[in-house]
Structure 1
């Protein structure tokens, strides 16, 4: 039976300000995250028009290859009528990428259920896959754990061009071999064979990173009816055509508003999330060499690296006739999302909330308000081994997540040291130095360098002796010390939360394929606190 607790983790100034600082919220966002705001946002959405029939049909056509559940069918019907959405998104990582992708989906689902009940209207959970992202180095690996250390397992196939994740096709045989190796590193359990079989089937059914990601995620959340859409899906791009036109016509004004907002944001004491530039067009062009970022120069949309140069009129024609050749950047994607979907609330991580804070006036340029922002839940899973280790070394989860393990480990080692031995070695070293002082006063200048070199050799031997004694000490207490390493390696990996490192499959391999379904049944609170789940 899983147990759950919440702790307030220090460290993220943006999240802290979002939950506590009214001036910060009203400066950078249109709504507070409270019950009244949800009612106001619902009224705003009712005043706006959306391409509901097209949107429902587009999601349906995208999801059909992966399977549409009974609950998803209900949600697709509601989308055509008066449904509103809770939406969040992520890049398409291998084996779903790090745990936070799943945590984001769980937050979207639970918030949609909660608001459906409170508001008495259909609230639909949607996951927006950032398939247009082209930084494949961010998604082409997973981590496994070995003796308390996170080991990077990289998919080695090279992609020379800047292909979007939705266009980059992997070699199925190479992916199969890679996944088999990853599961070997997880270790054999009663669940390994079936999990691996499901994953290999999904990899063989699909060709791109995005498709592989969606098939796995859809498998996790089918019963909940979570809807998926790929930002690079061609049919969606066609729906976006009129909004791309608005973004092209308003490119300079949008860019200027973001630059000004970022200055304001920095005046609050935060670092720059985007390093926004006045010359940014905030759009990509999908060129034969890959996805390239556009700037505005002399009134034209340009990318000098590939010799791309178009007038506003030519760009508007592309938006009208070939919108799939255009793609949003990090600044315009939230706006496009809000123009396409009736977004009640957007679920984002700390990094996303930081750059959304720059977009208030950019949203207003389109005569729309920003949706309510809900920080995604941050969760750490505590295995039975970690629970035992915490007890054995008398540390709390909070101690570990605040980076105190190394300090406690060093303190433990200090208690083990043989002080008598250390003092004897120290005295011997000091006595020897005294003897060498006497010796140097008796020798000629010619012999002095040899004497000094001889002393230096003895000092190194003393240091060697100390190191060997410490090695022996560590070997003798290896079992106890490994518990400190396990806690860091599982819960706070190289200074990062577990959810940013490990795939859910490493935990499902130990606790079974229903792990995520079971997480959805827990009484989580979306209160900005870090959630601890004891498995």
Structure 2
């Protein structure tokens, strides 16, 4: 195994928002609290220790014991749940949807990043305890986003009627999915593990939340991973004061929009708040709460509440109130002794909208850490890259740019059009000095001629490149096939492939290799050669 680190910026797959955050640009600093480095964690520990109540710890630990009832729990996970009662214990949290059979590869990378960060912090802060947490998005209702995974370029899909929080969905019907999927796996030892994991998860557990807990627990229990289901009455009772505040004052809407007004001056906005950022949750529905005509209405239903009635409902039935994307981060930080949220670029972008809201409700805003991203390259693929003289950084170039670069490098015709264009620009710069001393018509004529000449050179460059690509067809085809194999659909494979593809080939060695390779605080992209 060989591990190579590449700056996120050089992959071309990460937004300006994330690159500026990693570089601590001045424009983005007002939108986060402590930065993900050792100094930042020292400050965050002090902030969270002052604000997180012992009673919350006891409720959390008790709720988790109930959630794990009926599951084989490792000693390390049991120990971590017990440690949550202690004032010197903190969590590092990542979250993910309940994708069928974990969905894309980065499910693993998120959790392993959280585990590794806890281990690193334990070395730096030996007097504290750090617990890795996977927050299951059990209350999401975007079933179309989670009802499939990709295996060897084909979609394995679960078709059923949509409706309500996905964590409550019955696993009925997944027998058919299992039969289709298992028929493609073969009978190797690794294939049998994958079949068993899928069948025990989905055919022996009643709902999607329990099935997902089983899978994550089977894969990561040895590292002490603690899995949290937010669809829990006891945990929502802790959050009830913030739900009441939202219903009465629309605090999140007001505060997040203030932040957006500033953030959008330099960055793309990821999500926009609603007046009330809560859903009402029933057995088979999850619908927005709307305040209209003096009443609180549950969208697409006949359910309505007066102000008195809805506040009473919060007190008596807190589990019915489900936070949306704006309020879910607050819910997490209220119920967990959390220091850091670890997620992808899209997640980090919407968290950056929330700092003002957290300040308003007096909850510490967590450290935001861009999760580790990984590209796996086989030894065979590495040899092909070397034969084609493609570096790992070049691998991530846009395919057109990569082909152009390699065709030019391999060409017997050595014409540097960039130099010629620069020469032209210098010549016209001299003419512009003369033009300034004449009338406007001559000045405009010089500019027009400059554009015409440079455009002509650029067209010649494109024609030569096209001709060379045609002449070097074999090279173009080899590069195209290799890059498409490594980066399916011209995207990071972690967003396309399922872990089962690599587990089928490498078995548990795959997860072990990833764990050995990831360094969350390095803030770099990881390439693993296996």
> Shorter chain as normaliser: what TM range?
0.7 to 0.9
| 8 Å Cα contact 1:170-1:207 kept in structure 2 | yes
Whichever of the two has the greater Rg, that structure is 1
SS of structure 1 residue aligned to 2:517:
coil
How far off is 1:304 after superposition?
Answer: 4.2
Out of 483, 501, 513, the position equivalent to 1:487 is 483
**Would the aligned equivalents of 2:252 and 2:273 in 1 still touch at CA under 8 Å?**
no
Q: Which residue of 2 aligns with 1:168?
A: 169
SS in 2 for 1:368: coil
Distance 2:339 2:362 in 1: 16
Does the CA-based 8 Å contact 1:97-1:139 persist in structure 2?
yes
1:21 is matched with which residue?
24
Quick one: which of 49, 63, 68 aligns to 2:68?
63
Give the conservation status (yes or no) of the 8 Å contact 2:113–2:519.
no
Q: Using the alignment, how far apart are the partners of 1:283 and 1:306 within structure 2?
A: 15
SS at structure 2 position matched to 1:206 = coil
Residue 393 of structure 1 contacts residue 484 of structure 1 at CA under 8 Å; is this kept in 2?
no
Q: Among 243, 247, 256, which residue is 1:258 paired with? A: 256
- TM-score normalised by structure 1 residue count: 0.80
Please report how far the alpha carbon of residue 200 of structure 1 lies from its aligned counterpart in structure 2 after TM superposition: 1.5
- Which of 267, 291, 294 is the aligned partner of 2:289? 294
CA distance in 2, matches of 1:492, 1:131: 30
Mapped pair 1:519 → 2:514: yes
**In structure 1, what is the equivalent of residue 59 of structure 2?**
54
What RMSD, in angstroms, separates the aligned Cα atoms of the two structures? Answer: 2.8
Q: Answer yes or no: is the 8 Å Cα contact 1:166–1:208 preserved in 2.
A: yes
Q: What is the alpha-carbon distance in structure 1 between the residues aligned to residue 297 and residue 42 of structure 2?
A: 43
The one of 99, 108, 114 equivalent to 1:108 is: 114
- Residue in 2 that maps onto 1:138: 145
Please say if residues 343 and 371 of structure 1, whose CA atoms lie closer than 8 Å, have aligned partners that are also in contact. Answer: yes
List runs of 5+ in structure 1 lacking aligned partners: 417-469
| Runs (5+) with no aligned partner, structure 2 | 412-468
In the other structure, the counterpart of 1:84 is 90
Distance 2:519 2:370 in 1: 13
Aligned positions of 1:244-283 closer than 5 A: 244-250=243-249, 252-268=250-266, 270-277=267-274, 280-283=275-278
1:423 maps to none
- Quote how far apart the aligned CAs of 1:234 are: 3.9
Matches of 1:235 and 1:388 in 2, distance apart?
55
Mapped to 2, the partners of 1:206 and 1:393 lie a distance apart of 49
In structure 2, the CA distance between the partners of 1:391 and 1:185, relative to structure 1 (3 Å rule), is farther
For residue 349 of structure 1, what is the aligned residue in structure 2?
344
Normalising to structure 2: TM-score of the pair?
Answer: 0.81
Alpha-carbon distance in 1 for matches of 2:209, 2:497: 19
1:403 and 1:308 mapped to 2: Cα distance? 51
Q: Number of residue pairs matched?
A: 465
1:153 aligns with 156
SS in 1 for 2:244: helix
2:280 counterpart (285, 289, 309): 285
Matches within 5 A, 1:104-253: 104-120=110-126, 121-145=128-152, 150-155=153-158, 157-160=159-162, 162-171=163-172, 174-185=173-184, 189-250=188-249, 252-253=250-251
2: CA distance, partners of 1:411 / 1:256: 52
2:80 maps to 75
Paired position in structure 2 for 1:509: 504
The more displaced of 495-504 and 190-199 is 190-199
Superposed CA offset, 1:317-351 (max 9, x none): 11110111110100101111111111111112111
Check the 8 A contact 2:94/2:110 in 1, yes or no. yes
**Equivalent residue, structure 2, for 1:532:** 527
The DSSP-based 3-state class of the residue aligned with 1:207 is coil
SS of residue matched to 1:507: helix
Does the CA-based 8 Å contact 1:141-1:154 persist in structure 2?
Answer: yes
Q: Deviations over 1:350-389 (max 9, x none)?
A: 1111111111111122212201111111111112343233
Q: Answer whether contact 2:104 2:498 (CA < 8 A) is retained.
A: yes
Q: Secondary structure at the match of 2:521?
A: coil
1:98 aligns with 2:104: yes
Q: Distance in 2 between matches of 1:480 and 1:23?
A: 42
Q: Post-superposition shift, 1:273?
A: 0.9
Task: Please give the secondary structure, in 2, of the residue aligned with 1:229.
Answer: strand
The answer to whether the 8 A contact 2:171-2:203 is kept is: no
- Stretch deviating more after TM superposition (241-250 or 335-344): 241-250
Match of residue 320, structure 1, among 309, 312, 315: 315
- Structure 1 308/340 Cα, relative in aligned 2: closer, same or farther at 3 Å? same
